[in-house]
Amino acid sequence: MVDLAVVNRAETFERMQSPLAERGVSVHHVQVKERTLALSPETAPFSADQFDAGFVYPGRMMEGGVADALLDVPWVNGRDAVLTSRNKAGVLARLERAGLAVPQSVYVSNPADESAVAEAVESLDPPVVLKPNSTTRGIGVAKVPDLDSALGVTDYLDLVHDFRATGDRSYLVQEFVPDARDYRVMVLDGEYVGAVERQLSDADREAGRWKHNVHRGAEATPVDLDPEYRRLAERVADELDIRFLGVDLLVGPDGVVVNETNARPTIDDAAKYEDGFWDRLAGAVRETADAA
């Protein structure tokens, strides 16, 4: 039996336990955030000899460093994978250089001159999306209809970023893709393993809502994804060299673009994956453990 440390509890941990146990992988929750942690090996709540592998590196880098030191395990998705995916601007630049379609975007390293920000907004023909460069779950993402509104939002960002302890102060000015279908596509070891379409209810759309994040109320339903989109997601994972990756695609009137990636994706209900997904995930865990 392979012992796997999982640092994110929630849905992923609960859904992994039974199917992986049936395949020789024992899943254990290891809490590394929102608690106290003794650092001495003699008093730490977990040790390096308890686990053979870790699932995905903690999202908070400070907690991740502590967990890495105490657990001393290889990760299915390690620190480099998480950092690569979290940098939205870096991902978009890398994918565009590789010839993959992405939304038109301008990276802003704050503080930036207001005239430069205004030029970026106007160059993308509002409405535009303002998006923090390294948050998840749609946090802080705003659609703004015009230049004055955009500068109002960036004024608030300037106030927040004035606090010296703020980490990443950058954000994106990005084209808005109207009437887009939103897909989260999962890729494991370079191969498509499933996809969902994220949709708002009719009532939400009529109320003017446009974010398709599940954590903001959208519903994710399984889809038989177009082979072209499957291949695109696989190319993204290959380009970023990330073993287990969620790839967000927007399909609008002008075609498909890669909107974001997630190296710490939530594992959904098994019905949303291709046959053999759990066998392949268990195989990836064993291969990671064997590489230690």
Q: What is the pLDDT of residue 212?
A: 65
Instruction: Give the tens place of pLDDT for each residue, 158-175.
Output: 766 665 545 666 888 899
Q: What is the pLDDT of residue 173?
A: 87
Q: What is the pLDDT of residue 139?
A: 76
CA distance 47 to 90: 35
Q: What is the pLDDT of residue 153?
A: 84
Instruction: Give the tens place of pLDDT for each residue, 177-204.
Output: 998 999 999 999 999 999 999 887 767 6
CA distance 241 to 223: 25
Contact 37, 45 (CB under 8 A): yes
Q: In the chain, which residues have pLDDT < 70? A: 159-169, 202, 204-218
Q: What is the pLDDT of residue 206?
A: 60
Put residue 274 in one of left, alpha, beta given phi > 0 → left and psi -120 to 50 → alpha: beta
Per-residue tokens: 283 = 């195989």
Three-class SS of residue 165? coil
What type of residue sits at position 144? V
Judged on CB neighbours under 10 Å (0-12, 13-18, 19+), 259 is: buried
CA distance 13 to 267: 8
What 8-state DSSP symbol labels residue 218? Answer: -
Gyration radius of the chain's alpha carbons = 20
Which residues, at least 6 apart from 266, have a Cβ–Cβ distance to it below 8 Å?
Answer: 10, 11, 12, 214, 246
Q: Which residues of 192-215 are buried (b: 16+ CB within 10 A; e: fewer)?
A: bbbbbbbebeeebeeeeebbbbbe
Q: Which residue carries 């024992």 as its tokens?
A: 26
pTM, to two decimals: 0.87
What type of residue sits at position 128? V
Q: What is the pLDDT of residue 122?
A: 94
